Amino acid sequence: MLSGFGTGASLSVGALVLAEMSGNEAISGLASALFNAGAAAAGIPLARIAARRGRRRALVVGSFVAVAGALVAILAAAVDAWPLFALGVAMVGVSSAVSLLARFAATDLAVPANRARDLSFVVWSITVGAVVGPNLITPGEAVGDALGILPLAGVFVFALIAQLLAALVNWIGLRPDPLLEARRLPVETGPVTLPGAGEAVDGGEGSAAAAPARASGAAGGTVAGPAAAPPAGAGARWGVIIAIAAAQAIMVALMAMTPLHLMHHEGTPAIVGITLSLHIAGMYALSPVFGALASRLGRLRVVGLGWGLLLAAVVLSYVAGPSHLLVQVALTLLGLGWSAVTVAGAALLTDLTPSAERPRWQGRSDTIMSAAGALAGVLSGVAFAYGDFSFLALVAGGLLAAGVIASVACGGRRPRDR
């Protein structure tokens, strides 16, 4: 919740502050790009810390980097140095990597059949802070005035406090460390029957069957077997990663330019805040629903549902024009589609990866996902300056096609693996 609070507050004003400080709207997309670049740069290092020292240390280190980033952004606003502000935004972006790592922490001790559900609860918990964050523009302006800095930059004071509290909560409360505990406890081996598959799959430490019987005590019974696929080859995992990255790129590209688009059509900071709140609510609020659907219907079917929602968002963005209402509906659907693809995709990646290799593959996924968002943030500013919001929607449509192809490739494996 606290991590989402800082993220929502930063993303709500990053593009506006950078545009005002630099005097160039074409580079306003750098705010979102650098935020995601910070998350991308932190993904693999945090995964390595988690693999060696546990999830708790990795999460706390990431939050403290974000605290330092918020402080840098505030100081940059005080001296009116937009390159320094951009660096601060990139460091605050590490908070996004912390949120991504936290959702995988929910799977470390999860019964395999409940992985998607448990992961989605962590994603859902971000909702409170992430939705409130964009509406802190007005209080942030008051804080900025009080500090004698650019008013909009006052929002980063809230981000600093939230990230500091997030670090303290994880350091005190995340005991025992879920990843280290999962390695310490005994592992169930033996044949596992996949529901609906009609055949048994060999168990063992390298398979999804090796996932925790160790968690059975908390779940209230022994583990009969996962409701997910056994570990697969690297090709299938890369397909999932590409699909998740495409969804992230679409989401960032359209979201990053929404504040400027609205302001160009008689929008106000309050309207921008409401629109981004609706978008972020779509990203997180229904994640438990998508987690439950992924467990009941299958991961790939929920990924397909996500692509349908993203397609609707792209179409509405293309036709929205000056209509604030259509933009708000499009951004809400954008968040919902992103949630479906990323929740089901993250659960599928965990299912398809042997337990010993999960931190490495999860780190790769988070890094590529954030890098795709960073690149989309840069290109979205260029596309918006070159054309308009409709042109940007066309570009997003091309990314959507790439994501669908990657998803189809994941589903084209042998029936036994599927």
- For 312-323, write each residue's pLDDT tens digit: 999 999 998 888
- Max mean pLDDT among 58-62, 255-259, 285-289, 378-382 falls in 58-62
Average pLDDT over every residue of 169-175: 91
pLDDT of 214 reads 38
What would the pLDDT profile of 138-166 be if each residue is shown by its tens digit?
787 788 888 888 777 888 888 898 899 99
pLDDT of 359 reads 86
> Of 74, 70, 129, nearest to 99 (Cα)?
129
Residue 95 belongs to some domain of the structure: yes
Q: Reply yes or no on whether the pLDDT at 256 is more than 90.
A: no
Looking up tokens 């988690």 gives: 50
- Alpha-carbon distance 392 to 306, whole Å? 20
What would the pLDDT profile of 77-109 be if each residue is shown by its tens digit?
888 888 898 899 889 989 888 988 888 888 888
Residue 216 belongs to some domain of the structure: no
Higher local confidence (pLDDT), 122 or 3:
122
pLDDT of 197 reads 33
User: pLDDT class for 26, splitting at 50, 70, 90?
Assistant: low
Q: Any residues with CB less than 8 A from the CB of 129 and at least 6 apart, and which? A: 1, 2, 3, 4, 5, 6, 7, 8, 162
Question: Lowest-confidence range among 12-26, 59-73, 341-355?
Answer: 12-26
pLDDT of 251 reads 93
Residue 196 belongs to some domain of the structure: no
How many Cβ atoms from other residues are within 10 Å of residue 82's Cβ? 21
Q: Reply yes or no on whether the pLDDT at 217 is more than 50.
A: no
Residue 150 belongs to some domain of the structure: yes
Average pLDDT over every residue of 220-239: 57
pLDDT of 418 reads 43
Domain count, the chain: 1
pLDDT of 138 reads 74
How many Cβ atoms from other residues are within 10 Å of residue 323's Cβ? 13
The SS3 of residue 175 is coil
Which residues constitute the domain of residue 386? Answer: 2-179+225-411
Token output for 69: 């980033």
Higher local confidence (pLDDT), 307 or 283:
307
Over pLDDT 90: what percentage of the chain? 29
* N- to C-terminal Cα separation, the chain: 34
pLDDT of 223 reads 36
pLDDT of 177 reads 92
Average pLDDT over every residue of 59-75: 93
Residue 100 belongs to some domain of the structure: yes
Q: Reply yes or no on whether the pLDDT at 206 is more than 50.
A: no
Residue 200 belongs to some domain of the structure: no
Question: What pairs with residue 192 in β-bridges?
Answer: 201
Query: Which residue type sits at 65?
Result: V
Residue 194 belongs to some domain of the structure: no
Q: Any residues with CB less than 8 A from the CB of 172 and at least 6 apart, and which? A: none
User: pLDDT class for 8, splitting at 50, 70, 90?
Assistant: low
Q: Domain containing 156 — which CATH number?
A: 1.20.1250.20
Residue 217 belongs to some domain of the structure: no
pLDDT of 28 reads 66
Length of the chain counted residue by residue: 418
Question: Lowest-confidence range among 77-86, 117-126, 169-178?
Answer: 117-126
Q: Any residues with CB less than 8 A from the CB of 348 and at least 6 apart, and which? A: 228, 229, 240, 294, 299, 300, 303, 410
Token output for 111: 């019964």
**What is the rounded average pLDDT for all residues in the chain?**
80
